A = this chain, B = another copy of it.
Amino acid sequence: MASEQKYGAGIWHFATYVDRYATDGYGPARSLIEMIDLAGEVGDLSVVDINYPFPGGETDFAAVEAALKRNNLSVIGITPEIYTRKFARGAFTNPDPGIRREAHAMVTEAAGVVRRFGANYVKLWPGQDGWDYPFQVDHGDLWRMSMDGVGQLASENPDLKFVIEYKPREPRNHMSFDSVARTLLGIEKIGLPNIGILLDFGHSLYGGESPADAAQLAIDHGRLFGMDVNDNLRGWDDDMIAGSVHPIELFEFFYTLRKNKWEGVWQLDQFPFREDCVGAAKSAIGFLKHIEKALDRLDFDAMRAAQAKQDAVETLRLAREALFAS
């Protein structure tokens, strides 16, 4: 029986990148259409998350739709780019109210694009909202602006879902929405039903969380609206190939999703700076399929019983048996 699990990716997986050293980029820039065609080459992807404004200044919706169609892809979410130069000092938390209004306007436009594509959500990743230095901000004001910015949008667009992708840091030295608990605390304070969490496995991991615990907490609050995976060395958002460093915690993460019957798309959020992007996606999905089979092999009842005893040796034995099957 073929897997029914749906896979997706942020379209930036198929971009090329710049950083503060390789300012000429890790490769020639690609158009959105090229990225979509590369996503199609992977073969296992059903959905993509697309930045807005579209990469490369693309404005031809019909061309985008055609590219998606010929690659059998649909749009799961739109990520407004509220972290570029204009928003360098913050989007929702910018000290300048004019810039805050521009952030609001850009997300509102992105909401329209979500409707047009029939996508699932507007993804909010306010990566420039936070602080760099001790004493730089009034922390109470900053947090209120973070919640107000999201709350206003969710309240104005009750027909849509908004997902917050929290992250400890980068590009800001400290991001406002830095952890699963902080984000849930803010969401509960805002008090609207259409705000949830997009849980990035790597952000959780390098933030010192157990991604499985973070997923469970978000689920228990009814707020796990999406997720994506990758890997890192626990000190930074390296966005490496999923499972390349932490296969066991990745397995525990998916175990937690299945145990809770969470049935969303398994998405990739990788940045293959120096690797072939199609190859990196295939590598990740190959391993995710291995995990799917391992979940089929795993004895859930025995795992539950061993977890009830908090028996580290036995739970590890069960997990290994399923994951490293021979």
Contact yes or no, A208 B208, CB < 8 A: yes
Interface of chain A residues 191 through 229 with chain B (CB within 8 A): 207-208, 210, 212-213, 216-217, 219-220
Among candidates B20, B279, B316, residue contacting A244 with C-beta atoms closer than 8 Å: B316
Contact yes or no, A208 B168, CB < 8 A: yes
Interface string of A298-326 (1 = CB under 8 A from B): 00000110011111110111111001111
Contact yes or no, A310 B136, CB < 8 A: yes
Contact yes or no, B313 A173, CB < 8 A: no
Interface string of A20-51 (1 = CB under 8 A from B): 11111111000000000000000000000000
Interface of chain A residues 154 through 187 with chain B (CB within 8 A): 168-171, 173-174, 178-179, 181-182, 184-185
Interface string of A246-270 (1 = CB under 8 A from B): 1111011001100000000000000
Given the interface contacts A95-B309, A313-B280, does A220 sit within 8 Å of B293 by beta carbon? Answer: no
Interface residue tally on A, bucketed by range: 35 or more
Judge if A238 is at the interface, Cβ distance under 8 Å: yes
Separation of A85 and B28 alpha carbons in the complex (Å): 9
Contact yes or no, B207 A83, CB < 8 A: no
Contact yes or no, B185 A135, CB < 8 A: no
Separation of A68 and B252 alpha carbons in the complex (Å): 40
A308's nearest neighbour on chain B, judged by CB, is: B95
Contact yes or no, A17 B20, CB < 8 A: yes
**B residues near A136, Cβ cutoff 8 Å:** 307, 310-312, 315-316
Number of copies: 4
Separation of A244 and B132 alpha carbons in the complex (Å): 11
CB distance from A63 to the nearest CB of B (A): 22
CB distance from A100 to the nearest CB of B (A): 12
Contact yes or no, A249 B325, CB < 8 A: no
Given the interface contacts A88-B273, A280-B313, does A210 sit within 8 Å of B134 by beta carbon? Answer: yes
Contact yes or no, B245 A246, CB < 8 A: yes
Among candidates B24, B210, B283, residue contacting A313 with C-beta atoms closer than 8 Å: B283
Separation of A305 and B283 alpha carbons in the complex (Å): 19
**B residues near A20, Cβ cutoff 8 Å:** 17-19, 271
Judge if A54 is at the interface, Cβ distance under 8 Å: no
Interface of chain A residues 58 through 99 with chain B (CB within 8 A): 83-85, 88-90, 95
Separation of A141 and B184 alpha carbons in the complex (Å): 18
Given the interface contacts A85-B26, A88-B273, A181-B179, does A248 sit within 8 Å of B135 by beta carbon? Answer: yes
Judge if A7 is at the interface, Cβ distance under 8 Å: no
Contact yes or no, A207 B208, CB < 8 A: yes
**B residues near A293, Cβ cutoff 8 Å:** 326
Contact yes or no, A135 B303, CB < 8 A: yes
**B residues near A117, Cβ cutoff 8 Å:** none
CB distance from A72 to the nearest CB of B (A): 24
- Which residues of A pack against B, CB within 8 Å? 17-27, 83-85, 88-90, 95, 127-128, 131-141, 143, 168-171, 173-174, 178-179, 181-182, 184-185, 188, 207-208, 210, 212-213, 216-217, 219-220, 233-236, 238, 240-241, 243-249, 251-252, 255-256, 271, 273-276, 279-280, 283, 287, 290, 293, 303-304, 307-313, 315-320, 323-326
